Amino acid sequence: MNDYNVNRMQPRRSAWILSDFRRYVIIGAGAALVDFTVYTLLARGLSIHPVMANSISRPLGGLVSFTGNRYWTFRGRGKAALHIQFVRFWIVWGLSFTLTEALIWLFHDGLHWEALISKLCAEGTAVLFNFLMQKYWTFH
């Protein structure tokens, strides 16, 4: 079945959601690259403590994510002003961070899964959570 409504010649809703999700994943990969690059430079290159390095690199990745998602993934959609979307983004970011911490604890300590598998499952869940929250709340 094609992605266009024959009567209106407009992409179906599912096509728009899939397109947004693809863009979201690309921006997420870029944000992760910034996060891990800055973290590596600070922790390994400058011998800054890993917790301090992460407290700098992760928010920088978050800024890349906010900017890319606002202007490319969701293309400036939404009725809320920039500062409202910015605050909403960081609320979602904090909730997501809390969610991943809880899921890692559940998978690793509760279910006794291996650490990397626990992290991957938690992050996979967070990707879906973040996309839905950003699409339907932050940038809506």
Q: How many residues does the chain have?
A: 140
Residue 12, Cβ density class (10 Å: 0-12 exposed, 13-18 middle, ≥19 buried): middle
Confidence category of residue 76, pLDDT binned at 50, 70, 90: confident
* Domain range list for the chain: 1-77, 80-140
Confidence category of residue 5, pLDDT binned at 50, 70, 90: very low
Query: Beta-carbon neighbour count of residue 127 at 10 Å?
Result: 14
Q: To which residue do tokens 């996309």 refer?
A: 131
Tens of pLDDT, residue by residue over 89-126, are 999 999 999 998 899 999 999 999 988 898 889 989 99
Q: How far is CA 119 from the centre of its chain?
A: 15
Span 77-100, mean pLDDT?
91
Q: Which residues pair with 53 in a beta bridge?
A: none
Q: How far is CA 86 from CA 28, 56, 66, 120, in A?
A: 17, 18, 7, 27
